[in-house]
Chains A and B, each alone.
Chain A
Amino acid sequence: MNNKYVSRVGLCVGLTLIAAGAVAQEGDAERGQAAAASCSACHQADGSGMNLPDGESWPRLAGLDADYIAKQLHDFKAGRRENATMATFANMLNDQQIADVAAYYSQLPATQGQGGDEADETLLARGQQLAERGDWNAYIVSCQSCHGPGGKGVGDTFPGIAGQHAGYIRTQLSAWKSETRSNDPQNLMGAIAKRMSDDDIQAVSAWYAKQPASADQESTQ
């Protein structure tokens, strides 16, 4: 790889990040804890969030990738991801605080997802199928082909979805399906969500809510 190539790609990536308003900033978890005071009303002190079957579930943030959290906060601020509540709270944070809050939640131990317990066996089997193998007859790619083995997340682009609340996964997939959420890179999630039926969405949401979010959690179960 020659230097010209490196600098060109570097420049490209740099510009993209500036354009996205997400210049990578070192986060400090300790400062983040203080800044996260306003977040805990919904996301809870331990970052576990809350599954609300009939409303807008609050996602678990504990153990999610820091850069992923930071990107979402920047997107809320800039209107690339729309949510009235989150826009308000994200706007209270400056870039440094976003990095700090993201660092804080990322290092908290992941908690267990809720909302999958009422699902019956058939629904869970469909969920597992979509998660691990997809349904290529409908051109639905498996979740794990991007979210990684066990749905534990891949890098800072593909968030961990295992152990997330069923209500949250469901509303997000529905949002992608109806194009009210579209801050994914290259429409990677949107294209697939549009091919999922409401039952499919229920199924993966329930299945992933019941899966361990981290290796630690796996060993204690």
Chain B
Amino acid sequence: MRPERGVLITGASRGIGRALAEYFLQCGDFVFGVSRGEASVSHERYRHISVDVTDEKAVLTLFSELSRDQQRVDVLINNAGIASMNHSLLTPLSTAQRVINVNFLATFLFAREAAKLMRAGKMGRIVNFTTVAAPLSLEGEAIYAASKEAVTKLTQVMAKELGDLGITVNAVGPTPIRTDLIRGVSEEKLERLIRRQAIKRFGEMRDVINVVEFLISPESDFITGQTIYLGGIS
């Protein structure tokens, strides 16, 4: 039997994060779910941590407590993200800053702190989240796509820096999946986007889980710095 993993997931209260939390719990793993609000998952192996992922002090405290309690974090899933779908000429700076803070800087912050915990065991898996909106350079998503492109570059560079520590850093870029993130996007726009994919359908949670499980498996210790887009986008 595979040993139980300690998995930390940001944005764990809904959407992909919640689906991943439920999946790992089913696998027998221990899940630390992070979100601003209350827990939406209840399980004996689930610990919820209410934190604003952009608040450095709060995030440092979170990792300090994990370290103090000798909790193992084998896997970090940097899933928390927000979207801003707007023409660049109509995007307020405050919105742009918020998107960059959550999608990019919080990803960096969690990766940095998780890697410090993982380094002791000379083994770790970090999976960041990007989007097909980045390689497709979708109109109306300038800040969102740019923030996720930054995640791709962060993934590549951190992979090199953490390679010697036995920590891999990869990213997954889902196509549209029916979650809250795309609730405000018109059906017509979504259909147009899906027509640009090699495989023309909405993504499903199982598609994301499949890639994440592949990237974090012990056998994937020679795979790092990669971004895998779903649906045949490249």
> Do A and B interact?
no
Residues of A with Cβ closer than 8 Å to B? none
Residues of B with Cβ closer than 8 Å to A? none
